[in-house]
Amino acid sequence: MSILSLASMRLARDSGARNVYAIGLFCGMIGLNTAYAGFTGLLPDLVPEREMGKTSGLMAVLNAIGAALSFWVFGFVGLDVRYSYTMYGAAVAGTVALTCAVAREAPLLRPSPIVMKELLASFYVSLATHRDFYWVFWIRCTYYMGISVLSFMMLFLRDAILPISGDSPIFGAAVPTERRPLFYTSMIAMIGQLGAVTIAVPIGHLSDQHGRKPYIYLSCAMMAGVYVIFLFAPPLTYILAIGFVYGMGQGSFLTVDYALAVDTLPNKEDAAKDLGLWGVSAFVGSSCGPVVLGPLLHVVGILALGGTWDDVIGGSSSSSLEASLAKSNAVDVRYGLAGYQAIMLGGTFFVGLSAALLKNVQRR
């Protein structure tokens, strides 16, 4: 289903068929999340509980390597994005085939019947009966709301960092000015993934020995610290270096987060169902984060440049922002530093909230 959807999305992209593209994306997400639910349910079946932290660390490393490769291919090599559909389809086919070939799960003697009432109940986690898992769900949700600040990194570089870097910023002298925000966003992402790779497995191993919660606290503190530094719009060289620290914090969280979710499963027999719901928390957080932070950036960022509320809502104005705001492409709108400071504070709040909610989890 995913591969067919990717093929339809590629064809729809080339022909400009927006509705077909939207349908293909919707079906592709169903296919990918179906595979993901099965995959996450396999690990608790196949991996001993005492090694779950190390296994979660290996998962985080592989995720980081895959993300870094994609940033390298499309951000630095400059491969046309239309080829991403073919590459992603090949990756799906290869990894799913490999998983099915090597994962030897115990066969079900008698599959359970599908009951609609039970399916609907699987979308709900009770605080009274599944206390720890309930809080793990919301911890992950608020964490993804916090890291949604990264959605605005390219704009942050364009408006607040690169203008003070001069005509020949580090590593990018040969890069055209209009491509530098994308170039450095890809570089920061790759550096961050490298930070995640270096720390994920050791953190996973340590969490098996000392518990999960200390490393989630450490992760949230590292990410909040990076956001606080970003408030002051440091030079580009500092941004690149700090990206490594941010990646370490993110890698720590992603490593321990999965292991903690497995530790707090209400019933190991229902691992795939509950971990599928746990996966929804990331979707909710990554969707709600930009919905909150995007308008915040828009309002504060425009007012910081001397704009009016008419500028904010797109009304008529005689201010110097009128020409910029009149453009149909929202990416062309510029924002003041105060707008980015506002969303950095928002990201700090959300990752801090993740750490605060962790105290409600009684498991180690």
pLDDT, position 61: 85
pLDDT, position 178: 79
Asked whether 268 and 199 are in contact (CB, 8 A), the reply is no
> What letter would DSSP give residue 17?
-
CA distance 212 to 260: 6
pLDDT, position 363: 67
Asked whether 224 and 258 are in contact (CB, 8 A), the reply is no
Which residue reads 């941010």 in tokens?
246
pLDDT, position 340: 96
Residue 122: partners with Cβ closer than 8 Å, 6 or more residues away: 273, 274, 276, 277
**Chain-centre distance for alpha carbon 100:** 26
Asked whether 282 and 140 are in contact (CB, 8 A), the reply is yes
Residue 53: partners with Cβ closer than 8 Å, 6 or more residues away: 203, 204, 205, 206, 207, 208, 212, 255, 256, 259
Asked whether 58 and 43 are in contact (CB, 8 A), the reply is no
Question: 107-136 in b/e burial notation, b at 16+ Cβ within 10 A?
Answer: eeeeeeeeeeeeeeeeeebeeeebbbbbbb
Residue 87: count other Cβ atoms within 10 Å of its Cβ: 15
Residue in 63, 99, 68, 43 with CA at minimum distance from that of residue 200: 63
CB-facing half-sphere around the CA of 290: CA atoms within 13 A: 9
**Chain-centre distance for alpha carbon 318:** 39
Please work out, in degrees rounded to the nearest 5, the angle formed at the alpha carbon of residue 342 by the alpha carbons of 68 and 243.
25
> What letter would DSSP give residue 327?
S
Query: Cα separations (Å) of 287 from 94, 183, 240, 283, 290?
Result: 29, 25, 26, 6, 6
pLDDT per residue rounded down to tens, the chain (364 residues): 999 999 999 999 999 999 999 999 999 999 988 888 888 778 888 888 788 888 888 888 888 888 888 878 877 777 788 888 999 999 999 999 998 898 887 777 777 787 888 777 777 777 777 888 889 999 999 999 999 999 999 999 999 998 876 655 666 667 777 778 888 888 888 898 888 888 888 888 888 888 889 999 999 999 999 999 999 999 888 998 999 999 999 888 988 888 888 888 877 777 777 787 888 888 889 989 999 999 999 999 999 888 888 878 875 444 444 444 444 344 467 899 999 999 999 999 999 999 999 999 986 6
Residue in 270, 258, 272, 256 with CA at minimum distance from that of residue 215: 256
Burial of 31 (0-12, 13-18, 19+ CB in 10 A): middle
CA distance 253 to 140: 9
Domain boundaries, the chain: 115-358
pLDDT, position 320: 47
Q: What's the CATH superfamily of 115-358?
A: MFS general substrate transporter like domains (1.20.1250.20)
